[in-house]
Amino acid sequence: PGSLLLLLSLLWLRGRGQGFGQTRFICTSVPLDGDMCAATAPGGGSAEELKSTVLQLRETVLQQKETIMNQKETIRELTAKLGRCESQSVLEAPPGEPKGGGAGRKSGFSKNTMGDLSRAPAAETLSQLGQTLQSLKTRLENLEQFSRMNSSGQTNNLKDILQNKIDDLEKQVLSRVNSLEEGKFNPKNESEERGKIESTLTGGPAGAHRASAPAGQKDNRPPDRFQLTFPLRTNYMYAKVKKSLPEMYAFSVCMWIKSNASPGMGTPFSYAVPGQANELVLIEWGNNPMEILINDKVAKLPFVINDGKWHHICVTWTTRDGVWEAYQDGTQTGSGENLAPYHPIKPQGVLVLGQEQDTLGGGFDATQAFVGELAHFNVWDRKLSPGEVYSLATCSTRALAGNVIAWAEANIDIYGGATKWTFEACRQLN
């Protein structure tokens, strides 16, 4: 009877187990001093690492989303500012509109007429554009730094969009400057406005300059009384001298120059020939001193001119022993020898102002571009005497123009937004 009872009990238990889905239990031996949680979760260290990785990825995604939202907001602001600039151009009064304010104005708008030539709205717009441009460049630098730390295709796409917007904004600012130069303005108001524009573009104080003659009026200024202004460091803003250099066994290059760009003012001029992009170059790049290159050979020049003031500089050279001399503001500041000795300057090249050439007539690099103002760029095929250099620096009536390249508007073509302004040496320098 005891055996029968045990058998019936086992059958009953088996039937009950099948009724509950055949539940099974796995038993694990645990030491008395062991951790129950650790025993039931083998591989816990890997799980914690995985959890930490997931949290980091989530944080990265959130940071990218926040960055993208910030950049989209900046792009919207930029688009709105460009729209206001375009609207300002449309709202300007046409030439010939009567003087006075009552009938010629609508509430909320300020039109410019021949009698009322205030350019304050344009200056305000340019100032806003300049601030937005700087802000956008800062954001782009931050985004580039972020993308180096976190590789993301979405981040790279946004970076490309921002770079395109920066390029468009720079062109918009330069177009605005050109429109101010071409319009019919009162000389006094235009001079004040130009100072504001230059301050916006260069970030420094603008010098005293006179603008070119109003449109429709004859410009009676001498052909050499002008300067070139390069307000931005780009790879598309430059001037080209129409005439090439002949073969020269000696030369003198002199100019008036003004810049406060940092680091380095860039490349005031470069002369390239087939097979040699650095045939004759004047450059101040990065934190290096200004250098003169002849056939890719280098001499450091003792110039101290990066102070935002006008300076007159000259460099003379002769192929015999490669002897060179440097003059600043009429005084010799340095000399040397063995600079490309017995190598004549080759002819049939391209002479560019404001950019360094990596190829003949091109291959410009924005980091080496000149930022500032330049005037009276003259070239001679001989060494000038110290007295002749002094006459140039002091604007003496005995000063001669270059016999190879003479500074004249007819000899210069400008590109990419570089501008011409009236310049009178030794009268309105600083």
pLDDT value at position 416? 92
- Per-residue pLDDT at 91: 54
Q: Could you tell me which residues come within 8 angstroms of residue 380 by beta carbon, excluding any fewer than 6 positions away?
A: 251, 252, 402, 403, 404
Is residue 413's pLDDT more than 70?
Answer: yes
- Band of residue 366 on the pLDDT scale cut at 50, 70, 90: very high
pLDDT for res 263: 82
Among the listed ranges 75-89, 126-140, 234-248, 313-327, which one has the minimum average pLDDT value? 126-140
Alpha-carbon distance of 369 to 371, in angstroms, equals 7
Give the contacts of 306 (CB within 8 A, at least 6 positions apart). 259, 260, 261, 262, 264, 265, 284
Q: Which of 61-65, 204-208, 261-265, 335-339 is most confident?
A: 335-339
Res 61: pLDDT: 75
Residue 424 confidence (pLDDT):
83
Which residues are CB-contacts of 8 (< 8 A; sequence separation ≥ 6)? none
Q: Is 68 left (phi over 0), alpha (psi -120 to 50) or beta?
A: alpha
Q: Quick check: 46 pLDDT over 50?
A: yes
- Is the entire prediction scored with pTM above 0.75? no
**Tokens coding 25:** 């239990």
- Residue holding tokens 């300020």? 110
According to DSSP, the residues that pair with 380 across neighbouring strands are 252
Q: What is the DSSP letter of 184?
A: -
Residue 100 is predicted with a pLDDT of 39
Which residue has better confidence, 200 or 393? 393
User: If we measure between CA atoms, which residue out of 131, 264, 119 comes closest to residue 200?
Assistant: 131
pLDDT of residue 322 exceeding 70, the answer is yes
Most confident of 32-46, 96-110, 163-177, 343-357: 343-357
Cis status of the peptide bond prior to 31, with omega within 30 of 0: no
CA distances from 158 to 33, 63, 143, 144, 312 (A): 57, 14, 9, 10, 45
Rank 46-50, 84-88, 242-246 by mean pLDDT and report only the highest: 242-246
* In the chain, domain spans: 119-206, 228-422
For the segment 239-243, the average pLDDT, to the nearest whole number, is 96
What is the reported pLDDT for 34?
A: 53
Q: Which residue is it, tokens 């390239």?
A: 272
* pLDDT at res. 141: 64
Of residues 18 and 149, the one with the higher pLDDT is 149
Q: Which CATH fold topology does 228-422 show?
A: Jelly Rolls (2.60.120)
**Residue range 385-410: mean pLDDT, rounded:** 92
Residue type, 11: L
pLDDT at residue 394 tops 80: yes
pLDDT score, position 79: 75
Does residue 386 come out as left (phi exceeding 0), alpha (psi in the -120 to 50 range) or beta? alpha
